[in-house]
Chain A
Amino acid sequence: MKFALDFHSHTVVKKLIESELDKIDVRYSFHNSSYLEIIGNISSSKFNQIKSNFEKYGIQIKETPNDEFIQKVKDIITELIHNHKYHSYTSSNIISEKLKLSYGHISNIFSNHTLDTLENYIILQRIERVKSLILSNEYTLTEIAFALNYSSVGHLSNQFKKITGLTSTSFAKIVKKRNELQLNQSLS
């Protein structure tokens, strides 16, 4: 006996995905037929399991999430650094919570799509913020350390020196001199 089959491939794929995800107890929702959201945090290993289960059916998770995802991560970091209300939380927890993905997973995506690690990106962004606070001349280093959630002013000084190769005092001195020089040049 021969039959002609008629089917909607989207429905097939959707059913497949549903049964795979139900099997391993993952909550999810579909945004449209090719955009899936996993609800809550999942670990890297669970993510990889889903990925390989899908691959058996030729369904691929597009992990190039794009500049948009990376930008989202960066925006959260900027917010964390500028908004002192977060200062008693660790940045990894907040980032993970806001993006509903495990920190390990986010950090993997980040380093695969930028030239930097997420850890290092956060440190550099924070040091940039420290620099502008130092240059504003409004705060002591101790106040800055507290505002940016460093465990101590010593921790901040060490990290500053490690990243810039300069002490915060010589940094401030150099920038001041540089600005004076620029000013003199533009006046002359």
Chain B
Amino acid sequence: MDTKKEIYIYLADDDEDDRINFKNAIAELNLNTELKIVKNGKELMSNLNNIEVRLPDIIFLDLHMPVMGGLECLGQIRKSNRLHNIAVVIYSTSTLECDIEESLTRGANVYLRKPTDFDQLKTLIYKAIITNHHYTVSKQSRENFVMVI
């Protein structure tokens, strides 16, 4: 059954407050989820590239991180045969048109503009997860999964 299957989520964010907010938002969502949090892009990629670990259903990726930024990770994910099908949400405070377009063009499925309001954050995370889930259950290709929220 759809509802019983656990949704495995990754978050890569260098900002501690943002990580805590995200974690709290997910906890309040009433969804069956498992969350793995990493602090930068490098840590994310070494986790994803470890063939022994379970791959996430969806990755929330901060755009601006030191060491390795969101777009660089995104590029590697989309080029990898093993990872390219995973849904990627670019998660950023930037509302610049060029950041949004660049992220989506390089293969992000969702561009999520981090809101300051916690309830709003919950709503947007939920929307990203549910829309992705929708592609999974209807067995549709994520090729046209492009969204700005």
Q: List residues of A whose CB falls within 8 A of some B CB.
A: 64, 67, 70, 74, 112-116, 121, 124-125, 128, 131-132, 135, 163-166, 170-171, 174-175, 177-178, 181, 185
Q: What is the distance, in angstroms, from B75's C-beta to the closest C-beta of chain A?
A: 9
Cα-based distance from A178 to B103 in the complex (angstroms)? 10
**Which residues of the other chain, B, contact A121 by a CB distance below 8 angstroms?**
134
Partner of A164, one of B1, B107, B134, B146: B146
Q: What 5 pairs between A and B have smallest CB-CB spacing?
A: A165-B148, A114-B2, A131-B144, A177-B105, A174-B104
Q: Is the CB of A175 within 8 A of B31?
A: no
Which residues in B have some Cβ–Cβ distance to A below 8 Å?
1-3, 31, 79, 101, 104-107, 111, 130-131, 133-134, 137-138, 140, 144, 146-149
Find A124's partner among B31, B106, B107, B134 (CB 8 Å cutoff). B134
**Which of B2, B133, B146 interacts with A113 by CB under 8 Å?**
B2
Min CB gap B91→A, angstroms:
14
Give Cα distance in the complex from A21 to B107, angstroms: 56
Residues B105 and A74 in contact, CB atoms below 8 Å apart: no
In contact, A181 and B106 (Cβ under 8 angstroms): yes
Q: A74-B138, A178-B105, A181-B105 are in contact. Are A115 and B146 (CB under 8 A)?
A: no
Chain B residues in 8 Å Cβ range of A185: 79
Q: List 11 A-B contacts (CB under 8 A).
A: A67-B1, A70-B2, A113-B2, A115-B130, A124-B134, A165-B149, A166-B146, A174-B104, A175-B146, A178-B107, A181-B105
